[in-house]
Amino acid sequence: MANAPDLLSTKAAASGETAAKTSTEESRSSHCCFCSMQCQMVLTPSDGHPGLIIKPSPDFPVAAGRLCQKGLHALEHVLHPERISEPLRRVKRFDSDASRGSAAGGLRPESWDVALKEIAGQIRGLQAEYGSDAVAVYGGGSLTNEVGYLLGKFARVALKTKYIDYNGRYCMSSAAAAANQAFGLDRGMTMPLHEIPHARYIILAGTNIAECQPTMMPYLLAAKKNGATIVTVDPRNTMTSKAADIHVRLQPGFDSVFVNGLLHVIVAEKLYAESFVRERTHGFEQLAEAVKAYTPDYVERLTGVLEGVVRTIARGFAKAETGIVLTARGLEQQVNGVENTLNYINLALITGKIGRTGCGYGAVTGQANGQGGREHGQKADQLPGYRLIEDPAAREHVAKVWGIDPAELPGKGVSAYEMLQKIDEGEIKAMIVLGSNPVVSSPNNSMVERALRKLELLVVIDLFETETARDAHWLLPGSSFLEGEGTLTNLEGRVFHRGKVLEPPGNSRLDYEILCDLAEELGRGEFFRYGVIEEVFNELALATAGGKADYSGITYERLKREKGIFWPCPAPEHPGTPYLFQERFHHPDGRARLFGITPKMPAEPADRDYPYVLTTGRVASHYLSGAQTRRTEGLNKKAPVPVAEIHPWLAQKIGLRLEDRIRITSRRGSLVFQAKVTEGIQPRTVFVPFHWGEQLSVNRLTNDALDPISRMPEFKLCAVKVERES
């Protein structure tokens, strides 16, 4: 991971100096940059430490007094010596673009003036030759609402391109599509977290909360203490399943079959909430028809889950007075991800477990601002406020706020991975990446690496020279979470304000200023003039007014006073909406939709040539592409390399010995990993975490098949061979 020495800024390298550049004394509280819990932290000066130390804060109601290991270490990457602090131009040492890449030439510092002028000039040139859509924008769910919003506006107004999408496409898009279909509204959770302890029965499917949202565990443990039954559904025993009363070790790809079994029992035994189904939903007949064949016995034959277990869970959940279903990427990151999610929503709906206390459904959002990031226009088909870019009324409203003609707004583009494919095909010539590392995080990432090398202009705005930035012509130093003030929206839909703690190091700049200045160079500065970031928020609030995710009643002043407001919040005196769907769902008729799901095959089931299933996910000490956490010693030493989980049955079958590693081969590549033999994993499945690049990147193997509706890739299952490698 060593970076070229000319990358090192002496200012950023001297962490004491950087840390000393704090802003005002009183603005020392922040929120963790990693997961969607958004735990609050306090940064305090400490003896014997060059700068600040992080402590949990007692004040924020979500995880008062708690931070997990990642939060506690969050300062380390911010002050890391590899942090870039000047605009950097890739020194072209090669004649042909195809030969650039990891062997690319070094980086040379430039002034902001030169960097932005040259980038703007090149963009103009490419757009003159190939049209506006030759330039794409790739955003991220870690960015604040303000920066995500500005990025969407920048694409549509400054670049006039339809091609913008973001890493949330890999993250929440199946859950979002399902919630929109079933409820008419996508807010990850229908209720605040503090309802969890009141639930008597909790189903956690494809969600590893103990490692991925660790500070949520106390809510589950409190429920358990109150007598709740907890069920986990996962191909592996996880830290989360340790807290479960029943763990269903399901083969990847079988969620809809399993849930149909539960629904079958509930329908057959008339355990559903009859009046709720009658008065508040549509579609029960189709659902009942679809699950008819899925007797527990049939489900046992298909999945190996004992029929008694199917009956026990179905009866337990349906009969429980209160209950909650939480799902996450395990079943969402599949070509059938939307349908899988809809089926778990069916379960919550037909048992009437939505809209009252101790009840609810939640798709557990992942990234820091995964929720806000998908509301304000980073998505290919969206405008701020969760409006659709193809809706004439939405275009008119937002164009008015932006001061442009609605006809100037481009139409909808394509999803993140499809945008990368369009680069590979030559249609897109330039891309600006802000807040993502798609070379590590995309499926089938050899394609992505190849595609990025074809770009005539790649601009990466980041903190580090990431794997993606290695192919960039320009690397611009953006701001970390401690430097950029703004608002975020946590997994509950709670909007809150995050203050500024540090000045950006060296010549790095606030992300929003970089976008505004680039817009200026592109001749569109008049639409991007803001004195302070609060003005961006105020404009965002206007742009969302009347939309699904309505923030128009929210102000910085209120957020600071009220410590968070749940959207929708359509008026200054509106208290916000912690509980959704108490009386109506968001469809025009007020009713939720049930869907009869016929389980479908994955894109690449195991077969004779590739007889096992690879699934991927996370470990507690790393975050996503690892750009931040691999640079954090205290975290990296806990998991310096990816370790593949493999069942003893499979280990024996391939003759694995103690000192061996395993080779995993898919149709797209072959990699060698250290192995951990564990009874906990489904025997025909191997699991590899995805937080590493290059030869340790499991995304060299994953399949790029997309869900037909959400366009989310099937990260969670592809067919592989497994061999021993001595």
Interacting residue ranges for ligand SF4, rule: CB under 6 A: 32, 34-35, 37-39, 63, 67-68, 70-71, 213-215
CB of 460 to ligand MGD, least distance (A): 8
Question: Closest distance between Mo ion and the C-beta of residue 141, in Å?
Answer: 7
Q: Which amino acid is at 181?
A: Q
Kindly tell me which of 189 and 273 has the beta carbon lying closer to ligand MGD.
Answer: 189
32 binds, among ligand MGD, Mo ion, ligand SF4, none (CB under 5 to 8 A by kind): ligand SF4
Q: Taking Cα atoms as reference points, which of 371, 32, 348, 413 lies closest to residue 172?
A: 371
Interacting span for ligand MGD (CB under 6 A) from 117-125, 164-172, 533-541, 665-673: 164-172
Backbone angles phi, psi at 372, to 5 degrees: -60, -35
524 backbone dihedrals φ, ψ, rounded to 5°:
-120, 25
**Contacts with ligand MGD, 548-577, as mask; x by CB under 6 A:** ------------------------------
What is the three-class DSSP state of 55? Answer: strand
Residue 438 binds Mo ion (CB under 5 A): no
Binding of residue 149 to ligand MGD (CB under 6 A) = no
Which residue from 211, 456, 492, 604 is in contact with ligand MGD, where contact means CB under 6 A? 211
Q: Sketch the per residue contact string, 317 through 356, with Mo ion: x for CB under 5 A, - otherwise.
A: ----------------------------------------
SS3 content of the chain, % helix, strand, coil (to 5): 35, 20, 45
Report the partner that residue 39 touches, choosing among ligand SF4, ligand MGD, Mo ion, none (CB closer than 5 to 8 A by kind): ligand SF4
Which amino acid is present at 384?
P
Rank residues 264 and 691 by Cβ distance to Mo ion and give the closer one.
Answer: 691
Q: Which amino acid would we find at residue 458? A: L
Q: Which of 323, 366, 505, 689 binds Mo ion (CB under 5 A)?
A: 366
CB 329 within 8 A of CB 241: no
* 248 interacts with, out of ligand MGD, ligand SF4, Mo ion, none, CB within 5 to 8 A per kind: none
For the packed helices 533-544 and 145-153, what is the interaxial angle rounded to 10 degrees? 70
Among 238, 378, 415, 544, binds ligand MGD (CB under 6 A): 238
Q: According to CB under 6 A, which one of 715, 718, 720, 722 is a site residue for ligand MGD? A: 715
Unique residue bearing structure tokens 């997309």: 706
CA 165 to chain centre: 13
Q: Is 42 helix (H, G, I), strand (E, B) or coil?
A: strand
Q: Is 328 in the site for ligand MGD (CB under 6 A)?
A: yes
What sign does the CA torsion over 98, 104, 106, 111 have?
positive
CA neighbor of 161 nearest in space, from 441, 504, 560, 429: 429
Q: What residue type is assigned to position 560 of the chain?
A: K
Site string for Mo ion, 151-190 (x = CB under 5 A): --------------------x-------------------
Q: Which is nearer to ligand SF4, 181 or 490 (CB)?
A: 490
Smallest separation (angstroms) from ligand MGD to the CB of 674? 17
Question: Got the DSSP string for 66-107?
Answer: ---HHHHTHHHHHT-TT---S-EEE----SSGGG-STT---E
Site string for ligand MGD, 166-185 (x = CB under 6 A): -x--xx--------------
Residue closer to Mo ion, measured from CB, 171 or 491: 171
Binding segment (CB under 5 A) for Mo ion, from list 253-261, 263-271, 359-367, 714-722: 359-367
For residue 304 the two structure tokens come to 């190996």
Number of H helices, E strands in the chain: 26, 28
**440/519 with CB nearer ligand MGD:** 440
| Phi and psi based region of residue 324 (left: phi greater than 0; alpha: psi -120 to 50; beta: remaining) | beta
Q: d(Cα 208, Cα 685) in Å, to the nearest integer?
A: 17
Which residue stretch of 157-165, 182-190, 252-260, 718-726 sits at the interface with ligand MGD (rule: CB under 6 A)?
Answer: 252-260
- CB 258, min distance to ligand SF4, A: 28
Q: Minimum distance from CB of 411 to ligand MGD (Å)?
A: 25
User: Which residues 442-461 are close enough to bind ligand MGD by CB under 6 A?
Assistant: 461
Q: Work out whether 330 is an interface residue with ligand MGD (CB under 6 A).
A: yes
Which residues partner with 202 through β-bridges? 230, 324
Q: What angle do CA 652, 655, 658 make, to 5 degrees?
A: 90
Q: Which residues contact 125 (CB under 8 A, 6 or more apart)?
A: none
Tokens coding 347: 């379960």
Distance CA 68, CA 41 (A): 11
Question: Which residues are within 8 A (CB) of 407 and not within 5 positions of it... i.e. 6 or more apart?
Answer: none
Query: In whole angstroms, how close is the CB of 357 to ligand SF4 at the nearest point?
Result: 25
**Please, which residue, 213 or 544, has the CB nearer to ligand MGD?**
213
Kindly state the tokens that stand for 549: 């995710």
Minimal distance in Å, beta carbon 398 to ligand MGD? 24
Q: List the one residue out of 464, 421, 336, 342 whose CA is nearest residue 1.
A: 464
Q: Is 261 in the site for ligand MGD (CB under 6 A)?
A: no
The site for ligand MGD (CB under 6 A) is made up of 35, 140-143, 167, 170-171, 205-208, 211-213, 233-236, 238, 250, 252-253, 255, 328-331, 333, 366-367, 434-438, 440-441, 461-464, 466, 478-481, 484, 511, 615-618, 620, 622-625, 627-628, 687, 690, 698-699, 702, 715-716
